[in-house]
Amino acid sequence: MKSNTLKNRNIKITTIRLKMILLAIILFFSILPGKTLANDQSELSTLWIDLSMGPPLLDLFNQTAKSGDIARVEHISQLGLLQDVTAGQKLVVFKSADDAIRLLPHIHDEFDIVGYNLEHGPANPISEQEDPVGSIQRLREAADEYGLQLALGPDHRFAVSDAAAMAPYADYLILQIQKVQTEPETVYDFVLPVIEEARKANPNIEISVQIRTEGDVDDLLKMLSPLQENIDGISILTSEETIAVSEKLMGKLRATPVEPPREPVEDNIPVENKVNLDIITQAGNNARTSDSLPEDNNAPLATVIAAVLEDSDAPEEVLSAKTTGDTISTAEANQRTGSTWLFVIIALIAGIALGAGFISYRSGS
């Protein structure tokens, strides 16, 4: 009788242990999605950030930027903004490699990275569209001459067809996904093959994906999370209308308290550092010559820029993207990988508890 009582007590103890283990497992999986997102956001914050500048964002960048972060202006008429950047690196975007080459002797000490935004369309010279590799080779030589890094930002078609061939001449590759950033599977299907081929061609290249500050910030972070093992940075397109989103996104990625959205501030860029955009629009199809380029390298910045752009056969425009693609099936699996070790620990605890219960049962028999 005593033996049966001891057996029953051990069985009850074992049953209670099993119930507690099952309850712990249920609780764990009920909170897993939230823990995964938090971990993913934390890891995304280790990537460098490439932020397009506007006067309201200067203070935010200066206060939160790490040494590897990049302050970017989309047009040389905004070059004066970079004079107030006190953190990270500085980048200026060009649509034409030849225009950049002709301007570098006059402005190379104003920034660290020259950006080449090669796209199909009237904003880019036809000659460069027909010879993308030759164009970036020429720009690479000029960048090396002045100790600058080179960032390549192709549109979707050039990324698919020529990114691997151009990658050996670039320090950075920015893949434009902002047009389809609400379609994660389309994004993955586009960027993952391009990234793989680009890294084969240049193992040292730094790669980012470019998003715009629109929509829900948490949704953007969820979309980016499965890519964190494949990319080095996040490029962010901003606008005056989406300052609040920009600040929230930077707050998430840099885990820094962000002030409430501010009213647009007055543009204090010195007049001499501005270029009238009408000059660019009127450039038309003029022949590319250096006849009007000032001989004096100390000539006013606006004079130099105007001289180059008046000879240009294409206007400068802000970065845009045309991306297409379909699906991949590994995103969810990648998202769960970081929690595997927790599941293993729970399994070990369960095994130990079951073993202890079995031993108690045997000892009482």
Report the alpha-carbon distance of residue 79 to residue 102 in Å, rounded. Answer: 16
CA 142 to the chain's CA centroid: 26
Looking at the structure, tell me whether residues 51 and 29 fall in a common domain: no
Looking at the structure, tell me whether residues 30 and 50 fall in a common domain: no
Looking at the structure, tell me whether residues 185 and 300 fall in a common domain: yes
pLDDT, residue 254, reads: 87
pLDDT, residue 97, reads: 97
Looking at the structure, tell me whether residues 151 and 254 fall in a common domain: yes
pLDDT, residue 43, reads: 83
Instruction: Using alpha carbons, select from 257, 243, 219, 258 the residue that is nearest to residue 41.
Output: 219
Q: Structure tokens of 84?
A: 């107030």
Looking at the structure, tell me whether residues 159 and 289 fall in a common domain: yes
Q: What contacts 296, CB < 8 A, 6 or more positions away?
A: none
Q: What is the extent of the structural domain holding 205?
A: 46-310
Looking at the structure, tell me whether residues 200 and 63 fall in a common domain: yes
pLDDT, residue 346, reads: 63
Looking at the structure, tell me whether residues 110 and 170 fall in a common domain: yes
How many CB atoms are closer than 10 A to CB 278? 8
- Our count of domains for the chain comes to 2
Looking at the structure, tell me whether residues 204 and 103 fall in a common domain: yes
Angle of helix 184-201 versus helix 217-224 axis, rounded to 10: 40
Residues of the chain short of pLDDT 50, as ranges, are 29-40, 257-262, 264-265, 267, 269, 271-298, 314-338
Residue 321 inside a domain? The answer is: no
Looking at the structure, tell me whether residues 124 and 50 fall in a common domain: yes
Residue 323 inside a domain? The answer is: no
Summarised one tens digit per residue, pLDDT across range 239-282 is 989 999 999 999 999 865 444 444 544 545 454 444 443 443 34
pLDDT, residue 212, reads: 96
Q: What contacts 109, CB < 8 A, 6 or more positions away?
A: none
Give the CA radius of gyration of the chain: 28
Q: How far is CA 240 from CA 74, 152, 236, 264, 277, in A?
A: 14, 25, 13, 7, 18
Q: If residue 234 lies in a helix (H) or strand (E), which one and from where to where?
A: strand 233-237
Residue 322 inside a domain? The answer is: no
Residue 316 inside a domain? The answer is: no
Residue 296 inside a domain? The answer is: yes
Summarised one tens digit per residue, pLDDT across range 177-215 is 999 999 999 999 999 999 999 999 999 999 999 999 999
Q: Structure tokens of 77?
A: 């008429």
pLDDT, residue 210, reads: 97
Residue 318 inside a domain? The answer is: no
Looking at the structure, tell me whether residues 280 and 297 fall in a common domain: yes
Report the alpha-carbon distance of residue 94 to residue 92 in Å, rounded. Answer: 7
Query: What CATH code is carried by the domain that includes residue 141?
Result: 3.20.20.70
Looking at the structure, tell me whether residues 22 and 112 fall in a common domain: no
Output the DSSP codes for 269-298. --GGG---HHHHHTTTT----STTS-S-TT
The residue type found at 259 is E
Model-level pTM greater than 0.85? no
Report the alpha-carbon distance of residue 313 to residue 268 in Å, rounded. Answer: 30
Looking at the structure, tell me whether residues 84 and 19 fall in a common domain: no
pLDDT, residue 345, reads: 62
pLDDT, residue 12, reads: 65
- Could you tell me what percentage of the chain is helix, strand and coil, using 3-state DSSP and rounding each to the nearest 5? 55, 10, 35
